[in-house]
Structure 1
Amino acid sequence: MSEDPEPSVNISGGESGGGATAEFDPATADTRAERVVDRLGELYWEKSYGGRDAFTCLVRTILSQNTSDKASQPAHDALIERYDAPDVGLAESLANAEQSTLAETISSAGLYNQKSEILVATAEWVVAEFGSAAAFDEFVKEEAPETVRETLLEVRGVGPKTADCVLLFAGGRTGVFPVDTHVYRIYRRLGIAPPDADHEDVREVLEEEVPAAKCGFGHTATIQFGREYCTARKPACLEDPDACPMGDRCDQVGVYPATGEVVDPAETLE
């Protein structure tokens, strides 16, 4: 297990990324999904989230799309250093940014031309629709979660995972379990979500079966578990059945230790 169980170089911001310690009682778990999340909480951390600035969180999540946190974090830091001027504000600054300069600034994040275009358009939308990043932040924190999610999903470049991360890390909304590539892979591999489930299907299963207060750390701890143990191509169980701390809770859907083969769970239906 990592000596740094909640890394600062990730979308959650680590220990300094807002939120507070969460409390849970594993003895009261009612579902397999909840028992998995409880064990993740014992492995890593139990934390509720919230308090991040909504527009900054939206920018950070867009930068993280289709790349690792280690690649996107330097891009985020460089963007903040160049564009977050106290006398102007990040949203206003990005709305007026030269796209080629912004693309160069965030080049470490990958897909930087596409992301720079999306970031400028998103900043323009925030300024036009809400008047300021502060008003957008208030909208995210105060409006009904369903309204916030639907509104964000209308913005180009904002998908369900991005919208849910803003609701979780900025809005502090319980019951939100964002589904990234790790979450999507792991809960189908465990057998908790159907092998052919899409991302939204997985989210619905988790948000139904995991108590609202546990969804936040369930999301972030699952990502850490996916990086350390349940990787896409070489899950720990392939070499040693006892190496994975989730071994007794996993159906190993699409993982075949006898042959060393690993396939997407959906392929097991073919």
Structure 2
Amino acid sequence: MSDEPDLESDREPSMNISGGVEGGGIAADFDPATADTRAEEVVDRLGELYWQKTYGGQDAFTCLVRTILSQNTSDKASQPAHDALIERYNAEDVDLAGSLANAEQSELAETISGAGLYNQKSETLIDTAEWVLAEFGSAAAFDAYVKDEEPSDVRETLLSVRGVGPKTADCVLLFAGGRGGVFPVDTHVHRIYRRLGIAPADADHEEVRAILERDVPAAKCGFAHTATIQFGREYCTARNPACLEDPDACPMGDLCDQVGVYPETNEVVDPAEAPEADD
């Protein structure tokens, strides 16, 4: 791989929580020969398939809004909703938190209706905007807090907000704060690293996160999060992983324990439901 990855021609999707090629971050170069753990080897293998970059630089409140919109829906659905919200509420020289705090809930819900659960999400967005104003005074001050304060303190603060869970908090730390060692765990990440056998089959999201943040170097965690999601969409899907019909179709085949995947019977179950998990 080139020493200077070309972010303009890589395969990073534009419709994802990272913001795609234009979403901030710095090109990086990961060397598979230096992997110290199986998790890192998987990540380096992902780097041979996809882009390589570290993250950071997004506006923290905008990132928080984008991540809330992405909850329980696809990037393909949530990205247009985010774009519509920004167009309506993020006028020039207007603080987005102030604009959303004063938004009419029914109008906001209509604006983001493509994202799913729009009534619930519109309420969450208004509540979150009001919280930002009450605690920090503006979106700009919130951005400074996320980027400057101790990551563990920022995470604890974010988790205290209604509607903000671990993945949302970690995405803000990663994509806005650029904090190394933060590995957000969504459904793809949770499934894949248990299926690989890197995390226990019955591990919950927080247990998977702890294992990955321990075994993947800090600088690679952000890339690993987004690339794992892409790998989950292209190869290691929930119901029909590539290895089910062709053991050579998956680029992780030699690193995977196939927990819950049974090519001989064409059966796929959640790793926690695999017989091995009960032994």
Show the 5 A alignment for 1:170-189: 170-189=176-195
For the residue of structure 2 that corresponds to 1:39, the secondary structure is helix
% identity of equivalent residues: 83
* Aligned position for 1:20: 26
Extract unaligned runs of 5+ from structure 1.
Answer: none
Give distance in 2, aligned partners of 1:23 and 1:240.
Answer: 30
**Match 2:111 to one of 105, 109, 112:** 105
Give distance in 1, aligned partners of 2:267 and 2:63.
Answer: 38
Normalised to the residue count of structure 1, the TM-score between the two structures is 0.98
**Match 1:265 to one of 243, 260, 271:** 271
Q: Does 1:206 align with 2:206?
A: no
* Aligned position for 2:142: 136
Give distance in 2, aligned partners of 1:4 and 1:210.
Answer: 22
Extract unaligned runs of 5+ from structure 2.
Answer: 1-8
Q: Does 1:252 align with 2:258?
A: yes
* Aligned position for 2:3: none
Show the 5 A alignment for 1:64-79: 64-79=70-85
Measure how far apart 1:22 and its partner are. 1.1
The aligned amino acid for 1:39 is R
* Aligned position for 2:45: 39
Normalised to the residue count of structure 2, the TM-score between the two structures is 0.95
Measure how far apart 1:65 and its partner are. 0.3
The aligned amino acid for 1:65 is Q
**Match 1:192 to one of 195, 198, 209:** 198
* Aligned position for 1:218: 224
Contact 2:10 2:51 in 1 (8 A): no
- Report how many aligned residue pairs link the two structures: 268
The aligned amino acid for 1:233 is R
Structure 1's consecutive aligned runs of 4 or more residues displaced over 4 angstroms after TM superposition are none
Which stretch has the larger CA shift, 100-109 or 23-32? 23-32
* Aligned position for 2:4: none
Give me the CA root mean square deviation: 0.9
Measure how far apart 1:4 and its partner are. 6.2
**Cα deviations by residue, 1:58-111 (Å, 9 ceiling, x for unpaired):** 000000000000000000000000000123221100000000000000000000
* Aligned position for 2:249: 243
Give distance in 2, aligned partners of 1:239 and 1:25.
Answer: 31
